[in-house]
Amino acid sequence: MTRWVMVADLRRCVGCQTCTAACRQANATPPGVQWRRVLDIEQGEYPEVTRAFVPVGCQHCDDPPCMEVCPTTATKKRADGIVTIDYDICIGCAYCAVACPYQARSKTLRPRFAYGTEMENEAKRRDDSRLGVATKCTFCVDRIDAGLAQGKTPGVDPEATPACVNSCIAQALSFGDLDDPQSSVSQLLAHNASFRMHEELGTGPGFYYLWDRKAEATE
Amino acid sequence: MKAPAKGYGSYGPNPWQQTSWDARAAGNFIGGGMGSGLIVFAALSLATGPALSALVLSGLGLVALGLLCVALELGRPLRAIRVLRNPRTSWMAREAWTAMLLFPIGLAAAAGVTGMAWIAAGLALVFVYCQARLLQAAKGIPAWREPLLRSLLVTTGLVEGGGVFMLTAPFHGVATGATVILFGALVVARFVVWVAYRRRLAGSAAPGARAVLDAAGRVLMFAGTLLPLVLMAVAAFAGVFGLPIAALAGLLAALAGAWAKLVIVTRAGLNQGFALAHLPVRGARP
């Protein structure tokens, strides 16, 4: 079996937002819609203040609440764990958006352009099937599938790896198969302490956050 | 925390009001609950003839109005029929299927077909239960995912329907002593459920959500519970003025419930933001 997951090393992320820009470029999302966001979180009181940059987006959950509530079956989960939306089936009720504990979903009713009027590059990549329906991070599923078809390995070969991971300047983002013990994500999780967001909700996110070396975290 | 501009999401750990569902979605819960409650009261009153027809048709009209509200919120309204595709797991699909059954059965009841009023009342109860489960299944919103919300939406739906039943009593003339007592009991039950619901949110909902719910709770307590109960008591001894006073009680109880639902959907729908179970450990250790 294969379970595609993403790992974000919070110690490495510098909050440069390159992943956000790469995602927007790769997926042509409209202004205001970011499938890969990076939160800038400051916690604590002076002088004990810590700042963390936290990449967020669809967590491609094991038990996605968005899929359960979807009245149309537009949201589905593939065998490899990727949660997808069929834009031709979605009715845009936004039930999935309120069911998602990670605020990963967006709905755009009308075309939006960076500078008001549509530019040439925006016209070329315009996709009206994404208007009025729910959209979210796909883990760049098209790249993964195309890469696999060419014998590439997602998470290793850039052609088969999500755009945000490819673009990360600090190698804070990693992608791979959780069911493969030799994959980079499995190795990272084996040697580092990690957590998943809102784990208490039982959604089983496919997005892990590293925060310390494993041996030292347990001291 | 200031709410982000619509459609832009948030960028921090603090909860913010969801922007996906607005008053149109609340309208579905208000119309659906009120209409269903009215159909239930129509059956319980044992009304027949034009009175039954008028009550059931009014109930169906309210349910239809609610569904119209939510249809206006769809990004792709022309595909609305696809809402029926996933009754296996989605309470929205189950709500739609129940509505598909409720309308023909309700119309048959309004046409005077024997026994249909009771079946319509049963379906109306299922419909309002589906609505309650629908909202409670929204895992992203702490004030909605609280299990007691189900009881709250069902009881307030019945109270709102009972309120419209009392409001229109001077016209239909089928408000029996039993229905009046049931209405009063439901008004009390709704407030008890509200208090329990609000207490359960103490540790889970965001302070902003709790604050707006407290304000709505005060409206529910005074305008939706105490005042209607006092008015009902006065109506019992008011002779010819009894019916108009009871109608006012019904109106207040219905409006307070509708207001509470509007607040729950449009103002208490704060998500839980983002939370870090651990902060990153960088550099030298102490």
The yes-or-no verdict on residue B1 having pLDDT over 50 is no
Q: Give the C-alpha separation, B20 to B73, whole Å.
A: 9
Tell me: the pLDDT tens digits for B159-195? 999 999 999 999 999 998 999 999 999 999 999 999 9
What one-letter code names the amino acid at A199? E
What are the respective helix, strand and coil percentages of chain A, to the nearest 5? 25, 25, 50
Tell me: the pLDDT tens digits for B242-278? 999 999 999 999 999 999 999 999 999 999 999 888 9
The pLDDT assigned to B5 comes to 42
A218 touches chain B (CB under 8 A): no
- Residue B195's nearest CA partner among B216, B217, B212, B210 is B217
Q: Which residue of A has its CA nearest to B72?
A: A93
The pLDDT assigned to A73 comes to 97
Q: What is the mean pLDDT of chain B?
A: 93
Q: Phi, psi at residue A102, to the nearest 5°?
A: -115, 10
Compute the Cα dihedral for A153, A154, A160, A164 and give only its sign.
Answer: negative
If pLDDT is split at 50, 70 and 90, which confidence band does B9 have? very low
- Asked if the bond preceding B207 is cis, omega within 30° of 0, the reply is no
Q: What are the structural domains, with CATH classification, of chain B?
A: 23-266 (1.20.1630.10)
Q: Give the C-alpha separation, A115 to B103, whole Å.
A: 48
A204 touches chain B (CB under 8 A): no
Residue B214, CA atoms < 13 Å, CB-side half-sphere: 10
Could you say which residues from 25 to 54 on chain A have a Cβ atom under 8 Å away from some Cβ of chain B? 32-34, 37, 39-41, 43, 50, 52, 54
The pLDDT assigned to B14 comes to 84
Query: If you average pLDDT over residues B13-17, what whole number do you get?
Result: 88
Tell me: the pLDDT tens digits for A180-215? 999 999 999 999 999 999 999 999 999 999 999 987
Q: Which ipTM did the prediction report?
A: 0.92
Q: Give the C-alpha separation, B86 to B67, whole Å.
A: 18
The pLDDT assigned to B213 comes to 97
The pLDDT assigned to B222 comes to 97
Please list every residue in chain B whose beta carbon sits closer than 8 Å to the beta carbon of residue A40: 11-12
Q: Phi, psi at residue A155, to the nearest 5°?
A: 90, -20
Domain residues for the domain of A25 are: 4-217
Contact (CB, 8 A) for B106 and B58: no
Interface probe, candidates B6, B266, B276, B282, chain A, greatest A C-beta count within 10 A: B276
Q: Which of A54-68, A200-214, B2-16, B173-187 has the lowest mean pLDDT?
A: B2-16
Q: Which residue of B has its CA nearest to A65?
A: B139
Q: Give the C-alpha separation, A61 to B64, whole Å.
A: 35
Residues in chain A, how many? 219
The pLDDT assigned to A197 comes to 95
Produce one character per residue of A103-131: b if its CB has 16 or more CB atoms within 10 Å, e if not.
Answer: bbbbbbeeebeeeeeeeeebeeeeeeebb
The pLDDT assigned to A45 comes to 84
Name the percent of chain B lying above pLDDT 70.
95
Contact (CB, 8 A) for A157 and A179: no
Name the percent of chain B lying above pLDDT 90.
87
The pLDDT assigned to B160 comes to 98
The pLDDT assigned to A218 comes to 60
If pLDDT is split at 50, 70 and 90, which confidence band does A43 have? confident
Contact (CB, 8 A) for A60 and A206: yes
CA B3 vs. chain centroid, Å, equals 26
Tell me: the pLDDT tens digits for B32-75? 999 999 999 999 999 999 999 999 999 999 999 999 999 999 99
Query: Measured at the alpha carbon of residue A130, what is the angle toward residues A20 and A64, in degrees to the nearest 5?
Result: 70
Q: Give the C-alpha separation, B237 to B170, whole Å.
A: 16
Please list every residue in chain B whose beta carbon sits closer than 8 Å to the beta carbon of residue A217: 278, 281
Quote the tokens at residue B72: 């206006």
In angstroms, what separates the C-alpha of B175 from chain A's closest C-alpha?
38
Instruction: Report CA-CA distances (Å) from B234 to A76, B41, B159, B166, B240.
Output: 57, 22, 19, 14, 12
The yes-or-no verdict on residue B7 having pLDDT over 50 is no
Total number of domains constituting chain A: 1
Please list every residue in chain A whose beta carbon sits closer than 8 Å to the beta carbon of residue B276: 10, 41, 43, 52, 54, 195, 209, 211
Name the percent of chain A lying above pLDDT 90.
90
Written as one string, the DSSP assignment of A136-167 is ----SHHHHHHHHHTT--TTTSGGGS-HHHHH
The yes-or-no verdict on residue A93 having pLDDT over 50 is yes
User: At A160, which CATH number?
Assistant: 3.30.70.20
The pLDDT assigned to B3 comes to 42
Please list every residue in chain B whose beta carbon sits closer than 8 Å to the beta carbon of residue A33: 7
Query: If you average pLDDT over residues A155-173, what whole number do you get?
Result: 97
The pLDDT assigned to B8 comes to 38
The yes-or-no verdict on residue A86 having pLDDT over 90 is yes
Produce one character per residue of A150-188: b if its CB has 16 or more CB atoms within 10 Å, e if not.
Answer: eebbbbeeeebbbbbbbbbeeebbbbbbbebeebbbbeb
Tell me: the pLDDT tens digits for B125-155? 999 999 999 999 999 999 999 999 999 999 9
The pLDDT assigned to B90 comes to 98
